[in-house]
Amino acid sequence: MADAAGPAGPAGPSRFERVVLGWVRGDGETALTAGLWLAFTALLTSAFLFVLGWEVRDGLALENRGRLAEARVVRVNEGRGVTANIVFVSGPTGTEALMEDPAGPPEPGEVILVRYDPRDPGVVRDAAAPIWRWPLLLIGAVISASGSVVVAAEWLRFARRLRERRWRRGPGAGRHPGGSR
């Protein structure tokens, strides 16, 4: 909107930009720093979405293609998570495998129902366990969503700064006198 002093300048940063980018990093005055930050957050978000998609794909593939079999627990390993060494009693009899994240901590010698991939019996999970590891999915979803918000805010900031630069140069500044280039 114009007033008596002349045309009004471009609008300042939106509240979205101030809230999201204010706590993420500093001002980032140049296009290079804005572009690098945009590329970094986009790459990080893409990586988390890729890992999340890979986990979902593996869970669905085992659910669709997998077969049920009984397996005897040979040993239970506890470290970062619980794993169990198993030997198949039915299905691919005698084949050994390492099962991650059993539904309940099994006891050595216990026979449990497992779902395995007939193409690769080493890919196995407890039949009672959920298809996906929910903590990994939740962490990945939160990081991906926050990364997407930062990417959107960074893009808006970059576009606003380009508009400000064009406005400061004035109408027709930087154009070739014979027409557009």
Over the stretch 52-92, which tens digit does the pLDDT of each residue have? 788 788 888 888 899 999 999 999 988 888 889 999 999 88
- The residue extents of the domains of the chain are 14-56+135-165, 65-130
Number of Cα atoms under 13 Å in the Cβ half of residue 125: 17
Dump pLDDT digits (tens) for 159-171: 887 888 788 877 6
Instruction: Report the mean per-residue pLDDT for the chain.
Output: 77
Distance between CA atoms of residues 158 and 48, nearest Å: 24
Q: What is the mean pLDDT of residues 16-30?
A: 58
- Percent of the chain at pLDDT exceeding 70: 74
Q: Is the pLDDT of residue 49 over 60?
A: yes
Of 14-28, 47-61, 64-78, 96-110, the poorest mean pLDDT is in: 14-28
List of residues 6+ apart from 104 with CB closer than 8 A: 128
Helix axes 15-24, 134-169, angle to 10 degrees: 120
Q: Is the pLDDT of residue 120 over 70?
A: yes
Residue 56 token pair: 């979902």
Q: Is the pLDDT of residue 139 over 70?
A: yes
Predicted confidence band of residue 44 (pLDDT cuts 50, 70, 90): confident
Distance between CA atoms of residues 68 and 4, nearest Å: 80
Domain 65-130 = CATH 2.40.50: yes
Task: Kindly report the backbone phi and psi dihedral angles of residue 111, in degrees, each rounded to the nearest multiple of 5, phi listed first.
Answer: -100, 125
List of residues 6+ apart from 60 with CB closer than 8 A: 131
From edge to edge, which strands make up the β-sheet containing 120-126? 96-100, 82-88, 67-78, 111-117, 120-126
Predicted confidence band of residue 126 (pLDDT cuts 50, 70, 90): confident
Q: Is the pLDDT of residue 141 over 90?
A: no
